[in-house]
Structure 1
Amino acid sequence: MNQTPRYTRTAVTLHWLIALLMIVNVVLGLAAESLPDSWVRTTIDTHKSIGITVLGLALLRLLWRFSHRPPALPAAYPSWERRLSGVVHVLLYVLIFALPLSGWMHDSAWEGAATHPMALFGIVPWPRIGWIQNVADPATKESLHTLFGHWHVWFGYALYAAFALHLLGALKHQFVDRHAELQRMGW
């Protein structure tokens, strides 16, 4: 009988779906600059659609987490690892929201936003953030576009670091400490 405390199937599904979509989005974002011009618009639009999808799934994940307490960490974990795990999880949650929001803000400040409507996966119309899109002064709007783009990139770097800590911690517990860590978040 498996005594490993596990996350609910809903939490596991949301965890892996968000992780997969964020990885795909990192690849799309990094690849866009090296693609032929004819592919760039489709790649960026797909990146935006996935980002908004991640934002929605992250909201569901956060609501699920508030209503379903996650399983406790094993008692064998030292207190410093428990604290670090908590910090990394909070950072991951913040970044899961900050990346799509900063991307949406960046897109809303794009000079072509008014003439290029956004549609999720080319189907569902999606609004820009009005107060950003409607900035009248072109210089201010371009400054915002640059600022929000920098935020988006730096949140991406922070995500890489937090993801690395999360992954390394899970692997350490699974393979070095011999705890059933991966089973907690598996199907």
Structure 2
Amino acid sequence: MTARPDTPLYAAQRPSTGSRYTRTAMALHWLIALGIIVNVVLALSADSLPDDWVRPVINTHKSIGITVLGLAILRVLWRFSHRPPALPESIPKWERASAHVAHGLLYLLIFALPLSGWLHDSAWKDALSHPMQLFGLVSWPRIGFIMDQPPAFKEYLHNLFGSLHTWFGYALYVLLALHIGGALKHEWIDRHSVIRRMLP
């Protein structure tokens, strides 16, 4: 027997507006996710590319990182003014607490990765002779006080921020795997979807 649209059963099965993120939050979430995935692919493939491809790939990686940083700022500002939907009550408290911690760490890394990359690039010894451009269209400034450091100290900073950028990337891989794995567990095993909250 199929429930009609005006029956209580149909209404119970249909997600309510308050159980979903706003369309703006959805758009920002998926744009940030897409940017991160593309940047991971670019970073992992750079060493295996022909020499004349490496510089354009690195420049694209930088441009996407700055774009992700801008989108992340918008996402946080939007979240402050638009309360996200609560997780279903059927999810155990420890899982809800873990999800909040994981989300907090994800936000932290989404900011830390592009910022550490920007610092790393600003300490590059050839930064002055290779101006940074956003997707080859718009000039993008480097961080002045980093560029103005003595060459030896700048080289140290370049290596330091490069290492931080790499380790932040590894941490992000782990958190993304947990994030995706948790969402799929709720979808396929627990049978209370949380993915639909972030889908139109």
TM-score interval (norm. to shorter): over 0.9
User: Number of aligned pairs?
Assistant: 186
TM-score (norm 2): 0.91
| Residue 97 of structure 2 corresponds to residue 97 of structure 1 | no
| Residue 183 of structure 2 corresponds to residue 170 of structure 1 | yes
Match among 11, 15, 27 for residue 3 of structure 1? 15
- For 1:64 and 1:139, locate their aligned partners in 2 and report how far apart those are by CA, in whole Å: 42
Other-structure match for 1:51? 65
| Residue 198 of structure 2 corresponds to residue 185 of structure 1 | yes
Match among 75, 79, 90 for residue 65 of structure 1? 79
- For 2:132 and 2:118, locate their aligned partners in 1 and report how far apart those are by CA, in whole Å: 11
For residues 143-163 of structure 1, the C-alpha deviation after alignment (integer angstroms, 9 at most, x for no partner) is 100000000000001101111
**Offset at 1:182?**
1.4
TM-score (norm 1): 0.97
**Offset at 1:180?**
2.1
| Residue 59 of structure 2 corresponds to residue 22 of structure 1 | no
**Offset at 1:62?**
0.4
**Offset at 1:183?**
0.7
- List runs of 5+ in structure 1 lacking aligned partners: none
Larger CA deviation: 55-64 vs 173-182: 173-182
- List runs of 5+ in structure 2 lacking aligned partners: 1-10
SS of corresponding position for 2:87: coil
Larger radius of gyration: 2
Give the superposed CA RMSD: 0.8
Q: Identical aligned pairs, as a percentage?
A: 67
Equivalent residues of 2:87, 2:194 under 8 A apart = no
**Structure 2 counterpart of 1:141, which letter?**
K
Other-structure match for 1:34? 48
Structure 1: 4+ residue segments shifted above 4 A = none
SS of corresponding position for 2:84: coil
